[in-house]
Amino acid sequence: MAIMTNDEQQRRPEARKPRGFPDRTAAVIAAERRLVDSISSVYQRWGFDALDTGPFEYVDALGKFLPDTDRPNSGVFALQDDDEQWIALRYDHTAPLARYVAENWERIPKPFRRYSAGPVWRNEKPGPFRFREFIQCDADSVGVAGPAADAEMIAVAAEAMEAAGAARGEYVIRVNSRQLLDGLMESAGVIDGGQRGTVLRALDKFDKFGVEGVTLLLGKGRKDESGDFTQGAGLQANQIDVLLEFVTARKVNRAETIASLANTVGMTRAGATGVTELGEIDAILNALGLPEESVAFDPSIVRGLEYYTGPVFEAEFLREFRDAEGNPMRFGSVGGGGRYDGLVARFRGEPAPATGFSVGVSRLAAAMAASGEEKVDGPVLVLVLDKDQLADYATLASDLRRAGVRAEMYLGSSGMKPQMKYADRRNSPAVVIVGGNEREKGVVTIKDLKAGAAAAKGMTDNDAWRTERPGQFECPRAEMVARIKTIVGQS
């Protein structure tokens, strides 16, 4: 806890906080916990063991963000430790996993299956639903080659979406393959490394710009609405045709998509490998009972390709949320994954094939809270009317808690009206009132605030209901717990 000095008292600090790290209140936190718990349970059930590598890594171990300047700070939160070495907060769970596996190679079981659920930090420009700290839940298998491991990851991703609250049809895992894209580049005669990058970025825009826009980006370039011009890849029309045929090769089901891709890129070695792999993945997905609506093969998926080396996929959460004003909030991709055979080798030199999946829960949780889908019930409030009866009021609240009811005694010296206002602010389902009258009679007065609110909204036209559950009533002290449990729905 902080120590206050006279100095600080004199120059009063401003109560403000850094951008991109919003204060999260009860509903958001409840949604986060529910998501983390349910997704972790999926990983756990699939045989992944929990591992937390801690917040900091050396920047050279993290990769990507090397200390080429005196103070590296692009994308990560970095600082110098007291031994002068640069450390940074992890920006994902994968880079630390690679470090862990390399460091403990001789001691860990192989294949090494682990999951992680916790915050990662990105030193980026924050925005609405774009946080600088967010929670990711990852599962990874290290030391496994072959499509069975990839198929498993895709199935895990689908189960994670369902655990997050998406029914079948409310999510889709879209799968593509790095091998197929390698074959595609060969077929289309895209050989130059720089051009390859431009082409991949263009294909990645298919979702957004469609055939027309991507054709421009693959050819001479594209001018957007604001007049900004994006230089194109400068390909010939026949090359563009090959690329577009590939990107639009998704058919009604996985088997037909594979056949279509075999036609498009199956004649190249990489393409043929990719087609065979997708076939093996499909067989296992079928065995696991994953329908077409849950997992689609979609050649338009282009994803972190400098990093991935095999199958890649994205998890889309299709369910729509509406905020308090009724505006729809849609998510699109909430997670993704794929095969990354090079990351552990970066430390060890020897190959260590790996595949993984990561889902972000912070944006989802924020949407669930904003939509009112995730709510937290307030505590039952025991009013304090006679200051010399504190021990008695404390006992009443304690009796409720012992019965499992969320309850508190009002703390403070206000009168009844502010206490009722407080109960309202806290979203209390009920208050317990004991004044001199009640004490003499050995009763308590219970005010059912939910019933009161419902009555105020005209929802209680049914008189029988109103009689059965009046807004306010007296009952013997011995019945208080049972009556309150009925009100809060715990009886």
Residue ranges in 123-162 that form contacts with its own copies under rule CB under 8 A: 123, 133, 141, 143-146, 148-149, 151-152
Helix (H) or strand (E) holding 360: strand 354-360
When asked if residue 111 is in the footprint of its own copies (CB under 8 A), the reply is yes
Q: For residue 361, which phi and psi values (nearest 5 degrees)?
A: -105, -15
Minimum distance from residue 315 beta carbon to its own copies (Å): 15
Instruction: Name the one range near its own copies by CB under 8 A: 84-92, 163-171, 215-223, 242-250.
Output: 84-92
Helix (H) or strand (E) holding 150: helix 147-163
When asked if residue 472 is in the footprint of its own copies (CB under 8 A), the reply is no
Binding residue (CB under 8 A) for its own copies from 63, 435, 452, 471:
63
Minimum distance from residue 322 beta carbon to its own copies (Å): 24
Q: How far apart are CA 380 and CA 404, in angstroms?
A: 11
When asked if residue 471 is in the footprint of its own copies (CB under 8 A), the reply is no
Of 204 and 241, which has the nearer Cβ to its own copies? 204
When asked if residue 58 is in the footprint of its own copies (CB under 8 A), the reply is yes
Binding residue (CB under 8 A) for its own copies from 49, 256, 386, 479:
49
Q: How far apart are CA 360 and CA 164, in angstroms?
A: 11
Of 41 and 236, which has the nearer Cβ to its own copies? 41
Q: Distances from the Cα of 480 to the Cαs of 68, 443, 465, in angstroms?
A: 68, 9, 20
Q: CB under 8 Å to 118, separation ≥6 — which residues?
A: 52, 93, 135, 136
Binding residue (CB under 8 A) for its own copies from 38, 53, 273, 333:
53
Instruction: Name the one range near its own copies by CB under 8 A: 241-249, 262-270, 421-429, 433-441.
Output: 421-429
Task: Map the footprint of its own copies across residues 217-236, applying CB under 8 A.
Answer: none
When asked if residue 454 is in the footprint of its own copies (CB under 8 A), the reply is no
Structure tokens at 7: 């100095």
Of 209 and 347, which has the nearer Cβ to its own copies? 347
Binding residue (CB under 8 A) for its own copies from 35, 39, 95, 488:
95
- b or e along 42-67 (b: 16 or more beta carbons within 10 Å of the residue's beta carbon)? bbeebebeebebeebbebebbbebeb
**Listed residue (319, 311, 360, 458) closest to 129, CA to CA:** 360
Q: How far apart are CA 159 and CA 139, in angstroms?
A: 12
Of 235 and 285, which has the nearer Cβ to its own copies? 285
Q: How far apart are CA 166 and CA 145, in angstroms?
A: 30
Minimum distance from residue 97 beta carbon to its own copies (Å): 10
Of 103 and 207, which has the nearer Cβ to its own copies? 103
Token match 């994803």: residue? 303
**Listed residue (177, 143, 139) closest to 158, CA to CA:** 139
Amino acid at site 253: N
Amino acid at site 345: A
Give me the 20-39 binding string for its own copies, x by CB under 8 A, dash otherwise: -xxxxxx--xx---------
DSSP letter assigned to residue 72: -
**Listed residue (260, 259, 257) closest to 292, CA to CA:** 257
Task: Map the footprint of its own copies across residues 316-375, applying CB under 8 A.
Answer: 340, 342-343, 346-349, 358
When asked if residue 87 is in the footprint of its own copies (CB under 8 A), the reply is yes
Q: CB under 8 Å to 442, separation ≥6 — which residues?
A: 476, 477
Token match 């591992």: residue? 51
Task: Map the footprint of its own copies across residues 369-388, applying CB under 8 A.
Answer: 376, 378-379, 381
Instruction: Name the one range near its own copies by CB under 8 A: 86-94, 236-244, 319-327, 476-484.
Output: 86-94
Sheet with 78-80: strands ordered across: 56-58, 86-89, 78-80
Residue 120 near residue 92 (C-beta atoms within 8 A): yes
126 by DSSP, 3-state: which?
A: coil
Binding residue (CB under 8 A) for its own copies from 34, 38, 79, 248:
79
Minimum distance from residue 329 beta carbon to its own copies (Å): 21
Q: How far apart are CA 237 and CA 53, in angstroms?
A: 50
From the centroid of its chain, how far is CA 170? 16
When asked if residue 3 is in the footprint of its own copies (CB under 8 A), the reply is yes
Of 144 and 444, which has the nearer Cβ to its own copies? 144
Of 328 and 387, which has the nearer Cβ to its own copies? 387
Q: How many residues bind its own copies (CB under 8 A)?
A: 120
Give me the 298-317 binding string for its own copies, x by CB under 8 A, dash otherwise: ------x-xx----------
Minimum distance from residue 29 beta carbon to its own copies (Å): 4
Q: How far apart are CA 26 and CA 13, in angstroms?
A: 27
Minimum distance from residue 193 beta carbon to its own copies (Å): 11
Of 245 and 277, which has the nearer Cβ to its own copies? 277
336: β partners:
314, 358
Minimum distance from residue 50 beta carbon to its own copies (Å): 4
Task: Map the footprint of its own copies across residues 385-414, applying CB under 8 A.
Answer: 390-392, 394-395, 398, 401, 404-413
Q: How far apart are CA 275 and CA 262, in angstroms?
A: 6
Binding residue (CB under 8 A) for its own copies from 230, 248, 286, 486:
286
Instruction: Name the one range near its own copies by CB under 8 A: 97-105, 228-236, 270-278, 435-443.
Output: 97-105
When asked if residue 417 is in the footprint of its own copies (CB under 8 A), the reply is no
Q: How far apart are CA 315 and CA 335, in angstroms?
A: 5
When asked if residue 62 is in the footprint of its own copies (CB under 8 A), the reply is yes
